[in-house]
Structure 1
Amino acid sequence: MGTIARGGKAVYGAPLGILMLEARFPRIPGDMGNAETWPFPVLYRVVRGASPERVVLDGAAGLLPDFLDAAKELVDFGAEAITTNCGFLSLFQAEIAAHVGVPVATSSLMQVPWVQAMLPPGKRVGVITVSAGSLTPRHLEAAGVPLDTPFVGTEDGEEFFRVLIRAEKQDMDVDLARRDILRAGERLMREHADIGAVVLECTNMPPYAKALRAALGVPVFDVYSLVTWLRAGVRPRGFEG
């Protein structure tokens, strides 16, 4: 009997679906929205009207139905797991997972308790977020993050926040953006001497993770580590033969 190929999907070979905010800033290599970031194919779906400002500063108010529809569409296309390109969408974690019936990881923040479990006694996880003023206990609780977790934002920076969230321009000075992230990391370490690892909330921060690791001297986890972990479970590596 010959090999039987199974049907039922619209797209094959890309089991991971990414829900994207609607934005026009540059997505450099390492950014979640740059398809070349990933060592495997992914499916994208832009959620219209879900601007970074609306999701981050306004708590994604009124957007849940749009994200549910978009997530279901990705699953219908062939996605076997869903993630999003904004850590603040942890607010929708339970609803999206219930709606689509496949594994869902809405936020890089979900890694905080995992990383904490790996650290030695006396050390804890710190978070760098795009907007400390917008990261509420609701966001943390939805991702399973202890409410006493220290975090800092990039609102006081020169470039990163105003390009990504305020959308003041479409071009971005990458060197200035890197400086904003590094300064936030240095402030986190300066204010909390017990930081043993850092988790980056923002999905636009992975391009700067290597520089952060070198500058801070502690492990750095981000949405890239989250998504590659998720994908490894959906498509385990084979070692036969």
Structure 2
Amino acid sequence: MRHGRHPPLGIIMLDIAIERPPGDVGHCASWPFDVVFRTVPGATARKIVSGDDADLMDAFVAAGDELRAEGAIGLTTSCGFLASRQGELSARMNLPLATSSLLQLPMVERCLPSGRRAGVVTYDAEALTDRHFAGAGADPETPRVGLPPDGSLRAHIEHGCSYDRDGLRRDVQEAVSTLLSDNPGIGAIVFECTNLPPFSEEVSREFGLPVYDIITLGRWFYSGLIQSAYSQSLSMG
């Protein structure tokens, strides 16, 4: 398959049919480069979030191989909970793989001023366990807060309700407020959930903190996969 001037990033998608606005991992306009998608049949959100996904690993590897055949030069996924499978999947893939926005946590924390740390906003706080942080090489004591179980996003993804952007924005804002009030030393926010980047700019502006998500991970990841050539004719300054 032919793409633009640069080869695409491959995105392995969960098997869910939902509305994906710009900013969402599954919307082409979210990315400043070409992307290609491949869905893993049977990979429902609840199955992945609950960690009941060992039987799907072969299918994830097959999806990675199919994306490679389409010209992808690196891979990411559409669920941050796959951080727990980072080591297993990257060892089996034929392309570099960055499963989850949580992979940014160690680097983000090392960039913050003394006494500051990163905090996580996640789709499901009860399901986000030490093994997810271990898979990302992150501190399992990282502060985290979940979106409400009866909130707009879970209703949309797991119960087929219409996408409610205003409701989801309120849920995200309240989650961030709770995270910051419970953890005064938060200096940056990482969105685990790949459906939350549409709100990253608003949250950063509202709370005055940097926000990292699957899109910031993908941009960094891709920047090393396809390097720019520098002109040798420019004079040295």
TM-score (norm 1): 0.90
Q: Which residue of 1 aligns with 2:212?
A: 221
How much does 1:11 deviate?
Answer: 4.5
Match of 1:112 in 2: 105
Kindly tell me: are residues 156 and 100 of structure 1, through their superposed partners in 2, closer, same or farther at Cα, counting changes over 3 Å? Answer: closer
Q: How many residues align?
A: 230
Q: Once the two structures are superposed, what CA deviation does each residue of 1:92-141 show, in whole Å capped at 9, x if it has no partner? A: 21222221232110000000000001001100010000100110111110
Residue 58 of structure 1: how far off its partner (Å): 4.2
Which residue of 36, 39, 50 maps to 1:57? Answer: 50
Cα shift at 1:220? 0.5
142-151 or 56-65, which deviates more: 56-65
Q: Structure 2 unaligned runs (5+)?
A: none
Cα distance, 1:162 vs. partner? 2.1
Contact persistence 2:155–2:161 (CA under 8 A): no
1:76 aligns with 2:63: no
Superposition CA RMSD, Å: 1.5
In structure 1, what is the equivalent of residue 164 of structure 2?
Answer: 173
Cα deviation, residue 76, structure 1: 2.5
Match 2:175 to one of 157, 179, 184? 184
Q: Could you tell me the percent identity over the aligned residues?
A: 38
Residue of structure 2 equivalent to 1:127: 120
State the alpha-carbon separation in 2 of the partners of residues 129 and 112 from structure 1: 13
Is the CA contact 1:54–1:61 (under 8 Å) kept in the aligned structure 2?
Answer: no
- What's the offset of the Cα at 1:61? 3.7
* Maintained 8 Å contact 1:212/1:220: yes
| Contact 1:126-1:198 at 8 Å conserved across structures | yes
> 2:151 & 2:48 partners in 1: Cα distance?
21
Give the Cα separation in 1 of the matches to 2:148 and 2:49. 12
Amino acid across the alignment from 2:101: S
* TM-score, structure 2 normalization: 0.92
